[in-house]
Structure 1
């Protein structure tokens, strides 16, 4: 081993020794999956998502990401780009408003989108927030609520005087439909005029996860019982609540590689539009018409 190689090996060993070990399983472990994809995208010279905090956290955790999740893909960073664009537009129209981030995990949307005025509420189960707080401590404008999104008492922590925007990236598919409906309707009733943004998976992929979807030979995704096709989501939501003003559905964004070609094809052929996952942005009325 030459001197340069010895130096590089010593540097890698020092980083590994300093890295933080985390103990996660089930749904909370998926926060490392999304972190893997966002951080690796951000490290690219042509990154479409600049997320330096994700990179910092990614490099600080002692975890074999590729062993569990395989090579990174652009799904999660492109999803974050779509969410960020919608949120920044909302923030410009609602200075000092409140953003509620359900199942925040190690998502760094607050760090990417903070305008210096927004009030942010990170809601997640205790085991997830235990990990988050090792890297992203709560602040006066970014508070943490240690509850499941299905524990509706988190709503008591929301200041709705300047508007409310709720995000739920990679969450609802892990719930049963009846639980999604209860949560969504409760938000619409509690916060008239609220905007909600979430993503869905199609029924075929939901079925695949219920049968046991192995992302790699070392990692099987948690079951995702709620799958809904893109063309079914608006009538489903309108059947749940009369407060809905508009429902906008969009694909995840500009994927890299061959998948981008397939997704463009799917979007142009009606019978295939429900094949990919979908991002849903719901705007509600301040009062029932």
Structure 2
């Protein structure tokens, strides 16, 4: 029996990124694998025809490549941290139906998937927690979830496509609270400049009738802008299309490599990594 996803519900918002990950794995198999997305698309009862129709468009295909690179980059940062902290907590903030934590599982770490209660309800049906894994319903801005994370072996937090929907002040408050609660941990997430965020949020803002797009979280110079929040933050950033991978792959056209350079350059599309200073 397939799990039914209704139109115009919160559950439906999980379908678009899931479908994009499935398409990445099909269109760029040498760059990106996601068995879970392939399986889940078949496990839900949902009319994919509108998404399928759009999936042949050029910019849609580039969008799939963006999603693939972002997931790969964040997985790289998680694995990097696990090399020196094998028993760490791996925490997926705003997880949706993403299985990056499982893809990085070293057999020792603890996996946590956090999202709103109605999202976690769907996840519990489609991706029930395994050993060493917890699905936690919460609002990320209510930091009581901190207590649910066992960071005794360190912690690496990551967020894919999440902070664009947060106000700058919310991200700043959350990051500073995390620096207090998780010294020695790392947070990795994708970000872009104001121009890119405006484009990204255009339809969402219109639907939500939000006027002040400038209040939303956007970054041009991560070291300078985020570094000013707190002296305990150690910040690094790389372009997220080409910062980790040169994309010199036969499945990626020269035009898409050009767009990738534009994304990383003009739009400041980047992966930001924040290390929280270890307290003595």
Same fold (TM over 0.5): yes
Shift in alpha-carbon separation, 1:228–1:45, aligned structure 2, 3 A? closer
In the TM superposition, 1:82-97 aligns within 5 A as 82-97=73-88
Question: How much does 1:230 deviate?
Answer: 3.1
1:188 to 2:185 alignment? no
SS in 2 for 1:240: coil
TM-score after normalising by structure 2: 0.83
- Partner residue of 1:284 out of 273, 276, 279: 276
TM-score after normalising by structure 1: 0.80
Q: Aligned-residue CA RMSD in angstroms?
A: 2.8
Instruction: Note if contact 1:121-1:143 (Cα within 8 Å) is conserved in structure 2.
Output: yes
Q: 1:115, 1:221 → 2: CA distance?
A: 41
Match of 1:259 in 2: 256
Q: 2:260, 2:24 → 1: CA distance?
A: 19
Poorly superposed stretches of 4+, deviation over 6 Å: 220-224
Residue by residue over 1:61-96, the C-alpha shift from the partner in whole angstroms, topping out at 9 and shown as x without a partner, is 222345158315211111111111111121121111
How many residue pairs get aligned? The number is 261
Instruction: Note if contact 2:263-2:269 (Cα within 8 Å) is conserved in structure 1.
Output: no
Unpaired segments of 5 or more residues in structure 1? 1-17, 215-219, 268-272
Residue by residue over 1:194-243, the C-alpha shift from the partner in whole angstroms, topping out at 9 and shown as x without a partner, is 100011132113333554369xxxxx799776242432x22121111111
Instruction: Note if contact 1:230-1:278 (Cα within 8 Å) is conserved in structure 2.
Output: no
Instruction: Note if contact 1:27-1:222 (Cα within 8 Å) is conserved in structure 2.
Output: no
SS in 2 for 1:281: strand
Q: 2:49, 2:73 → 1: CA distance?
A: 25
1:64 to 2:82 alignment? no
In the TM superposition, 1:191-202 aligns within 5 A as 191-202=182-193
Match of 1:20 in 2: 3
Shift in alpha-carbon separation, 1:28–1:47, aligned structure 2, 3 A? farther
1:153 to 2:136 alignment? no
Q: 1:189, 1:85 → 2: CA distance?
A: 25
Which protein has the larger Cα radius of gyration, Structure 1 or Structure 2? 1
Match of 2:58 in 1: none
